[in-house]
Chain A
């Protein structure tokens, strides 16, 4: 129908013309990159502690400590000082003047009971402290082994750690995807779905409230059925969201295409990037599931947002009234973490079948676990049913509400509108 087409076109063109759309298009990839890459970037730098070792040992063990720490990446031993009166105070002053980051008070007790003290301007970095403790532990361990007449090299060989490589099997095939990648992909999809559902649902709400407050709606519904108007709106905003995803998708694939370069630039400690974060592979099927559930969820939630706008008289009022809908989306998002933790659990199964949570939970489960095509189809069918039912109710509220002004209707009035 050409009138619905006109509504779709208006929603689409007016939105894509806005500067905010392009800001989102540009910022989206930056934002997502930031979410995932920031930890890498922040992990870089730091480290490299300049510390002094105060040797109070009677056995010269302090020297072994200094040498041992020296070989630890990220720790730089400035000097070793023999303990004596006033040494601690003068070192404390050096810390104050930022010449050194801190100093270690090593006594015989390190060797015997493992007790050692570190004084520094910053003792709250768990990572640094852990590193220091680990290194000291190794030095002490080696010293004790040597005293017991054991060759530390033998022990080291005996302790070569197990490297467990994870490889996900999806629908009977080995995907070459690690646990980290599955998790990252599922997490990424959840965040994106959550933000997109809110973002575009609220846009439908804004569009309805705009027509209502400007009273344009009165002219519109004399020419087009309220349901057609609502349909055109949802499809128009939906098309905008698809364009947005397309732009993001292209940006993301460009990003993933240069993963090696990116990973190299973002880490400089030679650490295994894969352990921090792995850019996931996105298959076509995953893309289809993502888009299908997004569109289903968008239709479901935007119908509710439209109803919210229809019963509100101003934008402020709509923002208050929308709370139940936004809470529902938040619930879907946060409960979907359960599917990340265990994609096979009953809870994950339930969440991925219930229409209100499935738009986020199902794609997450799909990415994180081994979900059959049948499961996805059933979930999607339920989502469609739910969307039709919710849209039916919402459209009836919308139909009456858009012509209302003044007081917000009570629940009882809403029920009457729906039954009418």
Chain B
């Protein structure tokens, strides 16, 4: 089995007064879209910051690409879109992209070319020499997304990537994520919106209060945690339905009742339901200071 792209081994991070990440282990294999799910304050951003070498774990190890050295040592291969977006507001769009590309080890001329291509592709070519603060918010988000993937990273880390995107931009980002995945990149993204995770991720890990609750492939998690539900659709009055469901010999009854069956399928629980079941009701004291180092 090839080395996982991200391997967290019993990682713990404490801040003054609380444990942000508690003995967390997880494995992100090569080439998958991996979701890091959890409510606000679960420790998602702290986990991501440790993967990226922005914070150092108090104990445990982080290993990337099966090689030694932290996230910063592998910066050339990692693209990172933080939860709180922002660009240099007074700089020209193209200059920002070239600079952030250089931070990722791309040489200046190459960064300029790539930035030009991406701006063209996302319809921002005319804005390349404008100042960032002249752009609309949606355009700024596109620019920031370009900066995340400009250097063709093998690992793309998106922290709450879809938060605050309008549907068109969100779809555009999803398409690009899938495209990157198609080219062999590994995507790690965090979210607290389960519908998105369900549509996108192949593997996931749910954490709450810094601890891992469950991880694995989406299908496995659904099978083992969701239970199964039968969905039956038929015509008939509600009285008929009550009668039908009262009887254990359901299907036979259904057929015998002469109802015209339109739907009869076994359905898995939604990820949303699993999430709520596992995490429990939202805690009133969900920490808002998750990003405090």
Q: A residues bordering B, Cβ < 8 Å? A: 2-3, 6, 10, 13-14, 210-211, 213-216, 218-225, 400, 403-406, 413
Q: Are A6 and B71 in contact (CB under 8 A)?
A: no
Contact among A6, A14, A213 with B102 in the assembled complex (CB-CB below 8 Å): A6
Nearest-CB residue, chain A, relative to B45: A218
Contact among A214, A224, A405, A406 with B87 in the assembled complex (CB-CB below 8 Å): A214
Known A215-B82, A405-B292: A3·B103 in contact at CB below 8 Å: yes
A78 to chain B, nearest CB (A): 64
B245 to chain A, nearest CB (A): 54
Contact among B49, B55, B82, B105 with A3 in the assembled complex (CB-CB below 8 Å): B105
Q: Are A406 and B292 in contact (CB under 8 A)?
A: yes
Count of interface residues, chain B, beta-carbon cutoff 8 Å: 34
- The answer to whether the Cβ of B88 comes within 8 Å of any Cβ in the partner chain is yes
Q: Are B291 and A405 in contact (CB under 8 A)?
A: yes
Task: Show 19 A/B contacts (Cβ-Cβ < 8 Å), sorted by A.
Answer: A3-B102, A3-B103, A3-B105, A14-B88, A210-B88, A210-B90, A214-B87, A216-B86, A216-B88, A218-B84, A219-B80, A219-B100, A221-B72, A222-B53, A224-B75, A224-B103, A403-B291, A403-B293, A404-B293
Cβ–Cβ < 8 Å partners of A221 in chain B = 54, 72
Nearest-CB residue, chain A, relative to B101: A6
Nearest-CB residue, chain B, relative to A225: B72
A404 to chain B, nearest CB (A): 6
CA distance in complex: A14, B91 (Å): 7
B110 to chain A, nearest CB (A): 13
Nearest-CB residue, chain A, relative to B80: A222
Q: Are B84 and A215 in contact (CB under 8 A)?
A: yes
CA distance in complex: A406, B291 (Å): 10
Known A215-B85, A215-B86, A216-B88: A224·B54 in contact at CB below 8 Å: no
CA distance in complex: A210, B88 (Å): 8
CA distance in complex: A220, B87 (Å): 11
Cβ–Cβ < 8 Å partners of A213 in chain B = 86
Cβ–Cβ < 8 Å partners of A3 in chain B = 102-103, 105
Cβ–Cβ < 8 Å partners of B86 in chain A = 213-216
CA distance in complex: A287, B38 (Å): 61
Q: Are A222 and B102 in contact (CB under 8 A)?
A: no
Cβ–Cβ < 8 Å partners of B71 in chain A = 222
Q: B residues bordering A, Cβ < 8 Å? A: 16, 49, 52-55, 71-72, 75, 78, 80, 82, 84-91, 95, 99-100, 102-105, 107-108, 147, 289, 291-293
Q: Are A218 and B82 in contact (CB under 8 A)?
A: yes
Looking at chain B's contact residues, the main secondary structure is: loop
Q: Are A223 and B293 in contact (CB under 8 A)?
A: no
Q: Are B87 and A216 in contact (CB under 8 A)?
A: yes
Nearest-CB residue, chain B, relative to A212: B86
Cβ–Cβ < 8 Å partners of A214 in chain B = 86-89
Q: Are B82 and A219 in contact (CB under 8 A)?
A: yes
Known A215-B84, A403-B54: A220·B103 in contact at CB below 8 Å: yes
Contact among A6, A211, A219, A406 with B289 in the assembled complex (CB-CB below 8 Å): A406
Residue of A2, A215, A216, A405 ringed by the most chain B CB atoms within 10 A? A216
Known A3-B102, A214-B86: A222·B293 in contact at CB below 8 Å: no
Cβ–Cβ < 8 Å partners of B78 in chain A = 222
Cβ–Cβ < 8 Å partners of A220 in chain B = 103
Q: Are B292 and A404 in contact (CB under 8 A)?
A: yes
Q: Are A6 and B103 in contact (CB under 8 A)?
A: yes
CA distance in complex: A331, B95 (Å): 40
CA distance in complex: A6, B106 (Å): 11
B131 to chain A, nearest CB (A): 11
B80 to chain A, nearest CB (A): 5
Q: Are A218 and B72 in contact (CB under 8 A)?
A: no
B132 to chain A, nearest CB (A): 9
Cβ–Cβ < 8 Å partners of B84 in chain A = 215, 218
CA distance in complex: A306, B103 (Å): 20
CA distance in complex: A6, B16 (Å): 35
Known A223-B75, A405-B291: A6·B82 in contact at CB below 8 Å: no
Q: Are B104 and A14 in contact (CB under 8 A)?
A: no
Q: Are A222 and B52 in contact (CB under 8 A)?
A: yes
Known A218-B84, A405-B292: A223·B103 in contact at CB below 8 Å: yes
Residue of B78, B84, B103, B292 ringed by the most chain A CB atoms within 10 A? B103
A231 to chain B, nearest CB (A): 14
Cβ–Cβ < 8 Å partners of B105 in chain A = 2-3, 223
Nearest-CB residue, chain B, relative to A14: B91
Q: Are B85 and A223 in contact (CB under 8 A)?
A: no
CA distance in complex: A14, B190 (Å): 34
CA distance in complex: A218, B86 (Å): 9
A214 to chain B, nearest CB (A): 4
B186 to chain A, nearest CB (A): 16
A209 to chain B, nearest CB (A): 12
Residue of A220, A221, A223, A413 ringed by the most chain B CB atoms within 10 A? A223
CA distance in complex: A13, B102 (Å): 15
Q: Are A223 and B104 in contact (CB under 8 A)?
A: yes
Cβ–Cβ < 8 Å partners of B147 in chain A = 219
Cβ–Cβ < 8 Å partners of A404 in chain B = 292-293
Nearest-CB residue, chain A, relative to B107: A2
Cβ–Cβ < 8 Å partners of A10 in chain B = 91, 95, 99
Known contacts A219-B80, A403-B54; can you find 9 more A-B pairs with CB under 8 A?
Answer: A2-B102, A10-B95, A210-B90, A213-B86, A214-B86, A219-B82, A222-B71, A222-B80, A406-B292
